[in-house]
Amino acid sequence: MTASENMGTQASANPVNERVRGKVVLVSGGLGAFGMVTARRFLLEGAHVVLADIAPNSRQDVGEVFAGLPAPLVTKLDVTDPASWLSAIEVTVREFGRLDVLVNNAGVVTQVPQAFDEIEIDEWRRVFAINVEGVMLGTQAALRYMKSNGGGAIVNLGSISAYVGTKDNCTYAISKGAVKIMSKAAALSAARFGYNVRVNTVHPGYVWTQLIAEKSTREHGSAEAAKKLFASMNPSNRLVEPEDVAAAIVYLASDDAKMINGADLVVDGGRLIQ
């Protein structure tokens, strides 16, 4: 999947405001599909962006994707390592003067379907280290910085998998359920201790990105069949695009959402309301 495919066509169709002008934003897993599209939306709305990823040299097309926009800074981050978080925040502050927004976006899935009784503990630990501990460590590091530097906003990536039971996607679903409640715990703790930091979660439905493409193509015979199935699960019969997720993330990071804290924003084309 190319970057331009991931950019879709909807970015230009969405009205772009300047709700985050001047804010400094760190996106974990920033070189992935949502990371890049979210970064683009932040840049279009006037923010400075740091793309922090375990594989900072994995993309050669960063310049091309962000052509015409202020260049984002790319840096190394392993979300499972507390020291790596400290260093990513240090790099951000050195480059842009402060940190206002953290998007805890890095995440992985289990490629092989697993019934609950077949969950492998090593795979569980791998997924939890990134999807759960990674979000905890990032949130901690951001709170420690933000509480003494004027506050900020944290947006976590959950999933509609956090809302319903699952036949064979247990480890991932449970990890996203943990993110859902973690966001509320962090939001309340930060508010009660007077940190001026909001913590919210965006829960996307299935979006066609590298994260799920390989697994879904294998499970449903072809990419086209999988996309058709995912679209048909939504009452609109349309697939959610990365741009839809990015718009929700930027909204929650912006001051338009200043009274929204500990909330869950589901971006699934209405799939969960059926």
Ligand X SMILES: NC(=O)c1ccc[n+]([C@@H]2O[C@H](COP(=O)([O-])OP(=O)(O)OC[C@H]3O[C@@H](n4cnc5c(N)ncnc54)[C@H](O)[C@@H]3O)[C@@H](O)[C@H]2O)c1
State the catalytic residues.
172
272 binds ligand X (CB under 6 A): no
Contacting range for ligand X; rule: CB under 6 A; set: 64-72, 100-108, 114-122, 183-191: 100-108
250 binds ligand X (CB under 6 A): no
Contacting range for ligand X; rule: CB under 6 A; set: 17-25, 106-114, 117-125, 142-150: 106-114
Contacting range for ligand X; rule: CB under 6 A; set: 24-32, 143-151, 181-189, 250-258: 24-32
269 binds ligand X (CB under 6 A): no
Q: Which of 147/168 has CB closer to ligand X?
A: 168
Contacting range for ligand X; rule: CB under 6 A; set: 63-71, 136-144, 190-198, 205-213: 205-213
Q: Helix 33-44 to helix 242-253 angle, to the nearest 10 degrees?
A: 50
CA distance 106 to 52: 9
Q: What is the dihedral of CA 260, 262, 264, 265, to 10 degrees?
A: 30
55 binds ligand X (CB under 6 A): yes
CB-based closest residue to ligand X: 32
CA distance 143 to 137: 10
Cβ-count burial 108-121 (b if 16+ within 10 Å, e if not) = bbbeeebeeeebee
Q: Which of 143/179 has CB closer to ligand X?
A: 179
Q: Which of 30/152 has CB closer to ligand X?
A: 30
CA distance 69 to 16: 14
How do 152-157 and 101-104 pair as beta strands? parallel
203 neighbors 181 (Cβ within 8 angstroms): no
Distance of CA 144 to the CA centre of its chain: 20
234 binds ligand X (CB under 6 A): no
80 binds ligand X (CB under 6 A): yes
4 binds ligand X (CB under 6 A): no
Write out the two tokens for 90: 């240090």
In angstroms, what is the minimal distance from the CB of 47 to ligand X? 19
Sign of CA dihedral 10, 211, 171, 28: negative
Question: 146: burial class by Cβ within 10 Å (0-12, 13-18, 19+)?
Answer: buried
Q: Which of 78/195 has CB closer to ligand X?
A: 78
Distance of CA 117 to the CA centre of its chain: 29
Binding pattern to ligand X, positions 154-173, x when CB under 6 A?
Answer: ---x-x--------------
Q: Which of 72, 57, 62 is nearest to 27 (CA)?
A: 72
204 binds ligand X (CB under 6 A): yes
User: Which of 39, 49, 102, 108 touches ligand X by CB under 6 A?
Assistant: 108
User: Which of 8, 23, 26, 29 touches ligand X by CB under 6 A?
Assistant: 29
Which positions lie near ligand X, rule CB under 6 A? 28-29, 31-35, 53-55, 77-80, 105-108, 130, 134, 157, 159, 204, 206-207, 209-212
